[in-house]
């Protein structure tokens, strides 16, 4: 990052807190899964309700960003998330088979605040990390988004560890209250004066203009296949390893290695782009087409290897292959619709959530292979129409 500004600090803070919210949501999903009896549909119904809630919130957040500006939504999302966490700290959460949250209003606002905060942070990333290069007419958006998603991942990965430590020392209510205080950091940074840089992201989009951009719809189709692919890796890996006699502890370690490689690959992609200055469109098309195709080959090799094939080192390689796909795809879409980044992001991730809902019931050992091939094929079409 060549020029640390208030906007840069606010974007990093927003990405970390958004990751933190994802980490908390992951812990809650785990609680639901553990409390649901075997064969019960509670967990799947819970995920479906969550996705149904996310779709309109993502679309709304994107439209509001293009209408009122990413700065305003960054501050609003931060404040809403903090207030919702305080509300959750005062609500009662039961750990029975239903795993109910009594205060559903606070939970909904928690998701809404996190969605607004995350969407605003991602829209800000191309401007926040390399503002000097941007002012000079250079584009580092692919590197910026890959770097920015590293901060989101760090927030998601560190939150379970942080909450475990805090829950051992203090009560749940105080833990959530402390996290709410941390959630206010992006709002504080967002209201600090930095006119020179914030003016680069003043609202100038026309959300309805996206309806006439085929490339944006194609990018959304890529996300329709990619999001369930990424989400299915954990369950797919455990199923494959269990089928082939791998111990649960070893399987958990391998999956952790996958996520570490997944995050590291995004950082490596950003550094490689900066170090070698690859031609932008060639670099982006290579990442979003070739990497999913290689992942499909790798997955197919495991399935075809029968009882001998255990994805050990190959699981690390899979993480390296899939990590840069999402940020790079967003960079390509943001280039197509420079004035409607918020709506583009909302549309793409709404499609991703719908993909998770539609394809989740069909999860099998071969579904990730099919999804990886579909990601590569749809990304190839996207790259061709943007030639």
User: Residue 286 has what DSSP assignment?
Assistant: I
Mean pLDDT, residues 252-263 taken together: 80
Give percent helix, percent strand, percent coil of the chain, each to the nearest 5.
80, 0, 20
The angle at the Cα of 52, spanning 46 to 53, to the nearest 5 degrees, equals: 90
Sign of CA dihedral 139, 143, 144, 146: positive
DSSP-assigned letters across all residues of 330-360: HHHHHHH-TT-HHHHHHHHHHHHHHHHHHHG
The whole-model pTM stands at 0.86
Under the banding of pLDDT at 50, 70 and 90, the label for residue 116 is very high
Secondary structure of 147-203 in the HEC alphabet? HHHHHHHHHHHHHHHHHHHHHHHCCHHHHHHHHHHHHCHHHHHHCCCCHHHHHHHCC
* Domains of the chain, each with CATH number or no CATH: 6-201 (1.20.1250.20), 207-385 (1.20.1250.20)
Measured CA to CA, the distance from residue 251 to residue 244 in angstroms comes to: 11
Measured CA to CA, the distance from residue 353 to residue 55 in angstroms comes to: 7
The pair phi, psi for residue 41, each rounded to 5°, is: -95, 15
Measured CA to CA, the distance from residue 273 to residue 127 in angstroms comes to: 16
Helix or strand holding residue 246 (H, E): none
Asked if residues 14 and 121 have their Cβ atoms less than 8 Å apart, the reply is yes
List, in sequence order, every residue forming a beta bridge with 101; answer none if it has no partner: 93
Task: Say whether pLDDT at 98 is over 50.
Answer: no
pLDDT, tens digit (0-9, with 9 covering 90-100), for 162-207? 777 666 666 667 778 888 898 999 999 888 776 666 766 776 667 7
Task: Say whether pLDDT at 43 is over 70.
Answer: no
């Amino acid at each position: 990052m060549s020029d640390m500004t208030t906007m840069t600090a606010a974007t990093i803070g927003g990405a970390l807190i958004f990751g933190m919210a994802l980490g908390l949501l992951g812990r809650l999903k785990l609680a639901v899964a553990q409390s649901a009896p075997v064969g019960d549909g509670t967990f799947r119904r819970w995920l479906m309700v969550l996705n149904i809630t996310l779709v309109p919130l993502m679309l709304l957040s994107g439209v509001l960003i293009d209408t009122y500006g990413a700065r305003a939504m960054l501050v609003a999302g931060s404040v809403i998330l903090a207030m919702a966490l305080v509300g959750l700290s005062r609500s009662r959460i039961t750990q029975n088979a239903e795993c109910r949250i009594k205060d559903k209003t606070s939970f909904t606002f928690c998701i809404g605040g996190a969605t607004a905060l995350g969407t605003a942070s991602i829209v800000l990333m191309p401007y926040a990390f390399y503002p000097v290069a941007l002012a000079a007419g250079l584009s580092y958006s692919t590197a910026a988004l890959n770097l920015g998603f590293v901060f989101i991942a760090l927030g998601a990965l560190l939150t379970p560890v942080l909450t475990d430590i805090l829950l051992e020392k203090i009560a749940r209510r105080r833990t959530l209250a402390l996290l709410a205080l941390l959630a206010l950091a992006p709002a504080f940074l967002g209201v600090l004066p930095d006119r020179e840089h914030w003016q680069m992201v003043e609202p100038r989009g026309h959300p309805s203009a996206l309806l006439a951009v085929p490339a944006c719809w194609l990018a959304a189709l890529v996300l329709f296949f990619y999001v369930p692919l990424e989400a299915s890796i954990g369950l797919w890996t455990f199923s494959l390893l269990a089928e082939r006699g791998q111990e649960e502890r070893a399987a958990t370690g391998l999956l952790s290695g996958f996520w570490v490689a997944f995050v590291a690959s995004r950082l490596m992609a950003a550094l490689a782009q900066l170090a070698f200055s690859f031609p932008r469109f060639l670099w982006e098309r290579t990442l979003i087409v070739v990497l999913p195709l290689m992942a499909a080959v790798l997955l197919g090799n495991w399935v075809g290897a029968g009882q001998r094939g255990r994805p050990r080192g190959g699981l690390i390689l899979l993480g390296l292959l899939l990590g840069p796909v999402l940020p790079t795809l967003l960079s390509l879409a943001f280039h197509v619709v420079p004035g409607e980044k918020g709506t583009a992001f909302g549309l793409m991730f709404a499609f991703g959530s719908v993909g998770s809902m539609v394809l989740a019931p069909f999860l099998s050992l071969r579904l990730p292979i099919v999804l990886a091939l579909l990601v590569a094929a749809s990304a190839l079409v996207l790259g061709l129409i943007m030639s």
